[in-house]
Every structure is written in C-alpha cells, then in structure tokens.
Structure 1
Amino acid sequence: MKIHGQRWRYQLANTELYVDNAFSWFGWAQERALVNGKMVQSAGGWLIFRRSFKESWLTPTGDGELTIAMHSAASGIVVEVKLGGAVIEHEELFEATWHGRGGWPSELDWNRTEQFTIFNFLKRD
C-alpha cells in the first residue's frame, strides 16, 4: 500500500517538534509526534478524519499543555499546534512517499517543500 506522508517542524525554544501525518487513498491514516527525535505520541487506523494529541509541557512560566489537532479538509490535512492556548506556527514542511502502513520513512527520506504536492491537483489557477 502506497503511503503519503506530510511533516510539520516546529521550534519551541531549544526543543524541536515534528508532527507527522500519513495516509493512503484506501482510507488508512497514521500520525505521530516527535520531540527532539523521540516519538511521544502515535496512532493509526482506518477512515480516521480527526486526531488530537496532548502532552504536558514545561514553559518558562510553569507547567503547560501542548495540544496537536489534525483534521482532514478538501485541500489537505490541517494541523494546529498550541502551547498553553497560544498557536505555534510551523518552521518547515516536509513530505515523503513509501509503501507499507504502520511504518515511517527514515529521516533522510523526508523532502523539504514549500507546499505539499499530494493535494496540488485540487488547486485551480
């Protein structure tokens, strides 16, 4: 099964956060969150259109909560990351394609992009 992956990179002070989403056109979806290269949350399943993760997070003012919300839209996957209720903007985007649900490509197989190409056919000039 061909899997299409999308990755958002966030920089939170000295911490690097990656949010990965992958799907097949047959209805499989999988997601994960990595903090400084270590997976802290992951999920997968058939016909999933919405996913969210929550993590405790130490902020300069005390304990906070990092929330990651993903949902499907006609033009692609929408990701919103918040720390203590404040929206965090991504720094970079990456994409990859591979075969086999449940797995992920190596770090070297993610390609940096300015815009995800998998949904380009939905955009009209």
Structure 2
Amino acid sequence: MGFILRLLLNALALYLLTQVYNGVSFAPGADVVSVVVAALVMGIVNALIRPVLLLLSLPINLLTLGLFTLVINGIVLWLVAQVTVLNVSGFGAAIVGAIVLTVISWLLDALVSALGLDGRRRV
C-alpha cells in the first residue's frame, strides 16, 4: 500500500475513533490538515518509539503473554496526543482508544483490500 493511502487511512481511522469513542477527541476547530498531521505523527511514533518501548517491556510482555502491548499502544496514543491537536481524557482512555483504533484500522485495511485499492495484483 502506498504511503499516501496508508496516511489517509490512518487519518480516517483517527477521525472515526474520535466519533466512536468519547475519551479521545480533536481540539475544537481542528481541520483536515490537523487530522492528517496527527496521523503522520502517529506513524512516526509507531515506527521509531514503539519498537523501543516493546523491547524495553519485553520481560513484562512475556509475563502477561503479550497483553502489556495494549498498554504500550496506549502510551503511543497518549504521546501523539501530547504533541498534536488530539486530546485524550486520561491514560485509561488512551488504552481503550488504542484498542478501538486498532479495530477501526483493521476494518479499514480489510475494506481497502476487499475493494482492491491496495495495489496488489489478484491472480
């Protein structure tokens, strides 16, 4: 999937998250560019900071059979909210928001793949 399509899907997922879950919202007056910037920051944090957090939390992640990854995803969402127009009402809301965001992103990816918009050749 191309970078622009992935960025727009993530922006749509963030927007849908704010519509579905009240614990996460955008600041009043946030425009489309702000949503796309938040999605871009989310991608950067997921690419650079999340792997380090996962590596550092590996022992506790093993003890919890991977469930601590939900906390790491909440930390990532909370970090993104600290530097963008995204607002998270608390750390618990960040964890729940990260779970909901994961489900929304998975559904959007499945929809894009089903429609054949991901650029993959079907044989």
TM-score, normalised to structure 2, is 0.28
Structure number with higher helix proportion = 2
Identify which of structures 1 and 2 has the higher relative contact order when contacts are C-alpha pairs closer than 8 Å and 6+ apart. 2
